[in-house]
Each structure stands twice: as C-alpha cells, then as structure tokens.
Amino acid sequence: MDTDLIFLGGVVFGVLSIPAIISAMVDGRVPRAPAIIIMLAAVMIGYAVRHRPGAYTFETLPDVVMRVLAGFGL
C-alpha cells in the first residue's frame, strides 16, 4: 500500500477522532474508542514517516492530499 495513502488515512482518523473525544469528555464518559482510533492514527502516521523520512511535513500535506486524490482519479 502507498505510504501517502497510509499517512493521509492516519491524519484523517486523527482529526475525526477529536470530536468524539470532546463528546465523551462532555458526557462524562471515558473516551476508550477515540483513544484506540488515535493510537491507530499514530501508528499509521509513524509507519509512513518511518518508510519515507523527511517526506511528510505540514508544508507537504496539500501535495500528499493531491497525490492520493489523483491516484483515485478524482
């Protein structure tokens, strides 16, 4: 699998788990499922960064998104 896709998936999972964490804390629940998702996102990002060191920064994030979308033909 392409490391760009893995990296972008990790970023998306991480960003989408933030509302779930906030919701769980507001309701007084322990955010177990969002914590697992955050760990999965961290593993995905870590895997991609380990296999392509220096390729992923905040400046290159739009390029990564475009490469992944172009790979799907969008």
Amino acid found at 42: A
Q: How many residues does the chain have?
A: 74
Buried residues in 48-74 as b, exposed as e (16+ CB within 10 A): bbeeeeeebeeeeeeebeeebeeeeee
Domain positions in the chain: 3-71
Q: Would you say 48 and 6 are in contact if contact means Cβ atoms under 8 Å apart?
A: yes
Write the pLDDT tens digit of every residue in 11-45: 999 999 999 999 999 999 998 999 999 999 999 99
pTM of the predicted model as reported, rounded to 2 decimal places: 0.84
Residue 1 has pLDDT above 80, yes or no: no
Q: Would you say 67 and 11 are in contact if contact means Cβ atoms under 8 Å apart?
A: no
Q: With pLDDT > 90 as the criterion, what percentage of the chain qualifies?
A: 61
